[in-house]
Amino acid sequence: MADNITAVVTGGTRGIGRAVAAEFARRGVRVVVVARNREAGERTVAELGGGADLVTGDLSLLSDVRAVATRLLERCDRIDVLVHNAGVWPTRLVRTADKLEESFTVNHLAPFLLNHLLEERLVADRTRIVQLTAGLYAKGQLDLRRTPTGADFHRIRTYATTKLANLLTVPLFARRWEETGIRIDAIHPGVTNTGLGDRGGVRGLVLKGVKRAWAPPEIAALPVVRLTFAPADGPSGRYFDCERPVDLDPVATDEGLAQVVWEQAVDLTDLGPSAAPPPLPDPGEPLTPADPEE
């Protein structure tokens, strides 16, 4: 069904990422799993079979993100699909060697940097990019001075805020690539029973009990995979709630904020002038493309 297609899945050893990788493999797609833990990655690749491959790297470290991009370019003759799945829901403040809050890097800067480092290949292959996000982005409270270092850390709000930062860039990537054939969309695959955000103590036990009623990763993976194969009959840069394109919450449609978030990400990742944000749209043009059927 999907012969000669290569799909890269970050965070592909567990949860939704593992389920997405498995569904791709079931459909005959060559899967390249990006994983932090080599042992878990090798086990996953062996289980997937079908020529699956592994690239290791810690996406909380900007140096490792660059190394992952280099390895992907070496290992992949082409990249037809890129699924940014890797994510962190922090339960405590962790600052990385880059002096940045861990989830800010994994959830926001890592996919931003990978998109730029792989851009030439993505353009050549007219890649379909799917960015996993979460409906909680609407609860984010982005503070451009404090959020990057976790100075405003909160066990719930930080996850929402880093997802918001990432989501603000998706329509800008769509605009940057509008003449290239690259398509990028964000998707909230539904509330899912994964290990994301697990914690210890009584609250952890209560959360595990609640999660039993949530959908398993195999169900959440289906709209993600279907989106990668969906016909290109709508604009790029949309936000999907499972199968359905929906309008973004106003907090994620602030064009001025999106530009500043992009510029800050360029500075933090040392990408340079070629990664400048796309120009502002004409007055009255929405940040998020409207679905022609809406």
Distance (Å, whole) CA 139 – CA 230: 29
Q: pLDDT by residue (tens digit) across 243-279?
A: 899 999 999 999 999 999 999 999 999 999 999 999 8
- For range 214-226, the mean pLDDT: 84
Q: Is the pLDDT of residue 292 over 50?
A: no
For residues 163 and 136, the answer to whether their CB atoms sit within 8 Å is yes
Domains within the chain, CATH numbers bracketed: 6-275 (3.40.50.720)
pLDDT at 33: 98
pLDDT band at 216 (very low <50, low <70, confident <90, very high): confident
233 phi and psi angles, rounded to 5 deg: -110, 15
Note the pLDDT of residue 206. Answer: 40
The predicted-structure confidence for 167-177, as pLDDT tens digits, reads as follows 999 999 999 99
Asked if the model's pLDDT at residue 286 lies above 60, the reply is no
pLDDT band at 6 (very low <50, low <70, confident <90, very high): very high
- Whether pLDDT at 195 is above 90: no
The residue type at 274 = S
Q: How many C-beta atoms surround the C-beta of residue 14 within 10 A? A: 16
Whole-number average pLDDT of the chain:
89
Where residue 289 falls among pLDDT bands split at 50, 70, 90?
low
H or E stretch covering 33: strand 30-35
Catalytic residues: 159
